[in-house]
């Protein structure tokens, strides 16, 4: 009888040991799988870097862009329009209210038209270039008035260029209202300077 009990006990012990071994193997397998996944995730997070901008999203300062700059510098002499090359290789025209728009108005002034006429010619000579027009206001009115007014000024500028043969789909318009003043709005001179249109011309670099 003791031998029987001893045999049963032995079998129970052996079965328990086998079960523990199986459980241990399974736990180690899960840990390895879990650890591998964690490593992969960590490596992905650490190794991940912002995608470098492709050549197609960059700008190039081509000979045509340089020609546009020289042409607009000559065409705007004495008008107060500032012509420059930006750090990201765009042509920038900053057009003050003296020749662009009156207070609370989006109608293009007569003095602005010759500048836009010449500008349209340079754009038609460089069909690869795209244009962004940004309208700004002073702080004379509320945001509810200034925001749509700034957009309307940019849109009127685009529409005028379109009448001169520039494809409207090449032009993006934005309105910033009074959110980006160049100077204080405390006096008429400051408000006049803040009431402006900025035009940016970009030529995309060819894909590599």
List, for residues 61-77, the tens digit of each pLDDT value.
Answer: 999 999 999 999 999 99
Tell me the per-residue pLDDT of 79-134, one tens digit each, with 9 for 90 and over: 889 999 999 999 999 998 878 887 788 888 888 899 999 999 999 999 999 999 99
Residue 34 CB-density burial (10 A; 0-12 exposed, 13-18 middle, 19+ buried):
exposed
Question: Is the pLDDT assigned to residue 136 strictly greater than 60?
Answer: yes
Q: What percent of the chain has pLDDT over 90?
A: 49
> How far lies 65's CA from each of 78, 118, 129, 141, 168, in Å?
22, 14, 8, 37, 19
Q: What is the pTM of this model?
A: 0.70
**Region of poorest pLDDT, from 3-7, 40-44, 54-58, 101-105:** 40-44
- Dist. CA 20–CA 192, nearest whole Å: 84
């Amino acid at each position: 009888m003791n031998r029987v009990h001893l045999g049963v006990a032995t079998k129970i012990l052996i079965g328990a040991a086998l079960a523990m071994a199986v459980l241990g193997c399974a736990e180690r397998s899960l840990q390895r799988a879990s650890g591998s996944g964690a490593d992969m995730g960590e490596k992905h997070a650490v190794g991940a870097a912002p995608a470098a901008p492709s050549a197609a999203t960059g700008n190039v300062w081509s000979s045509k862009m340089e020609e546009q700059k020289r042409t607009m510098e000559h065409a705007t002499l004495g008008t107060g329009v500032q012509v420059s090359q930006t750090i990201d290789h765009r042509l920038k025209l900053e057009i003050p209210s003296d020749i662009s728009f009156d207070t609370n108005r989006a109608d293009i002034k007569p003095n602005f038209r010759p500048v836009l006429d010449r500008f349209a010619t340079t754009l038609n000579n460089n069909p690869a270039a795209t244009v962004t027009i940004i309208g700004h206001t002073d702080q004379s009115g509320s945001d509810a008035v200034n925001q749509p007014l700034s957009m309307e000024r940019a849109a009127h500028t685009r529409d005028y260029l379109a009448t001169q043969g520039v494809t409207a789909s090449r032009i993006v318009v934005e309105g910033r209202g009074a959110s980006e003043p160049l100077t204080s709005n405390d006096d008429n001179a400051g408000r006049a300077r803040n009431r402006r249109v900025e035009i940016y011309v970009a030529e995309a670099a060819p894909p590599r």
